[in-house]
């Protein structure tokens, strides 16, 4: 939670301008376009872990709100899903308040989605696994009510395209969000292969490589080191567990 303590300490005045700074400043009642703190400039230059963590937190909850509104109505289920994510992250009262305000900002008709996504991508400085985790969180939000509306799907495609991911990759993320191998036994194996991005005709070596690649992408400690807020580590851990479950099921059915 180091980034949050630093933020409350007022030393991130240097770090943010642009739409992310405006959103986070509004959520906390501060202006991050002014008030540069002397001596903190080196600590919070672009690419710094704490700066990336703050950007991830801000973009995640604001875009989550935008996506929830994509089909025209923010359902009680979608609101509950956002609050569930906050609960799983074990946010304290002030963090939760900021997350709710960011979510509400995302629901506004003038929310600058493209500008937010472009700045978020810049702040991540090539941390592709981190951007992937961000997209997966948005996919989980869209599927919270048990269905994916066409408007939500188009927004997710747009988010992926802006952040450098393909539609095919987004489809694979859908498998992650629906739980893959946690489904009924008749479809579990098929979904397990889909989750790993492989097919039943692939050999063991290919499947093992896919499994290792995905586990590396979702390793909680590595993601935190690259800028995932520590509060979101549990979400990354759950993804790793889904991948492990899928791989174990495939192995069991191949030998």
User: What are the tens digits of pLDDT across the range 33-52?
Assistant: 444 343 344 444 555 777 88
Contacts 24+ apart (CB under 8 A), 171-178: 172/197, 173/132, 173/135, 173/136, 173/139, 174/139, 174/143, 174/148, 176/136, 176/139, 176/239, 176/242, 177/136, 177/139, 177/140, 177/143, 178/143
User: What are the tens digits of pLDDT across the range 93-127?
Assistant: 888 899 999 999 999 999 999 999 999 999 888 78
Model confidence at 13, in pLDDT bands (50, 70, 90)? very low
pTM, entire model = 0.74
pLDDT at residue 211, rounded to an integer = 85
The boundaries of the domain holding residue 111 are 2-254
Average pLDDT, stretch 121-149?
84
Number of domains in the chain: 1
């Amino acid at each position: 939670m180091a980034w949050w303590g630093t933020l409350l300490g007022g030393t991130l005045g240097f770090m943010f301008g642009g739409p992310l700074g405006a959103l986070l400043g509004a959520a906390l009642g501060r202006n991050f376009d002014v008030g540069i703190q002397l001596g903190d400039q080196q600590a919070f230059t672009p690419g710094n872990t704490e700066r990336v963590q703050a950007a991830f937190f801000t973009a995640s909850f604001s875009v989550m709100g935008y996506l929830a509104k994509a089909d025209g109505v923010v359902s009680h289920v979608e609101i509950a899903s956002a609050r569930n994510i906050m609960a799983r992250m074990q946010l304290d009262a002030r963090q939760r308040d900021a997350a709710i305000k960011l979510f509400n900002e995302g629901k506004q008709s003038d929310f600058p989605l493209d500008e937010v996504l472009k700045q978020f991508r810049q702040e991540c400085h090539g941390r592709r696994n981190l951007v992937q985790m961000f997209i997966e969180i948005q996919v989980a939000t869209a599927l919270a009510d048990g269905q994916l509306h066409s408007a939500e799907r188009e927004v997710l495609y747009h988010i992926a395209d802006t952040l450098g991911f393909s539609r095919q990759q987004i489809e694979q993320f859908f498998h992650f969000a629906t739980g893959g191998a946690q489904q009924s036994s008749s479809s579990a194996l098929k979904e397990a292969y889909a989750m790993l991005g492989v097919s039943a005709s692939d050999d063991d070596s290919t499947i093992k490589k896919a499994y290792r690649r995905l586990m590396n992408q979702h390793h909680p400690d590595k993601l935190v080191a690259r800028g995932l807020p520590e509060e979101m580590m549990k979400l990354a851990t759950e993804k790793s567990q889904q991948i492990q479950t899928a791989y174990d099921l495939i192995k069991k059915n191949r030998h």
